[in-house]
Amino acid sequence: MPNWCYSRIKFTGDYKAVRKLYNFIAEQFDIPFEREPMHFDKNTFLGTFLDRAGLDSERFRCRGQITDWPGPPEPCDDDSGNCEIVIYTETAWCPMIAM
């Protein structure tokens, strides 16, 4: 049995880029699933996100799943123009953040 690793990952950038990432993640929950994802929920499995983004899930360590994430990003009020979203993941042994 693995030691579970719970991670909080924050994505920060300009509003358009962060909103695009948010929309991509949100869309994955409604797409029919194509492959068996071990015991993880089919549309929150990190390998699913890599595959659907056109990345090689064999090249990146991608086990685990998204367990929670807040609502869409809001435009920031500060002068930087940056905003952020946060996702929470559950993986075995260590964080999977190299995607």
pTM of the shown model = 0.72
pLDDT one-digit tens code per residue, 14-33: 888 888 888 888 887 777 66
Looking at residue 43, what is its pLDDT?
65
**Which residues, at least 6 apart from 18, have a Cβ–Cβ distance to it below 8 Å?**
11, 12, 73, 82, 83, 84, 85
pLDDT score recorded for residue 36: 56
Question: pLDDT per residue over 36-89, tens digit each?
Answer: 555 455 667 777 777 778 887 678 767 788 888 877 777 666 677 788 888 888
d(CA 99, CA 6): 16
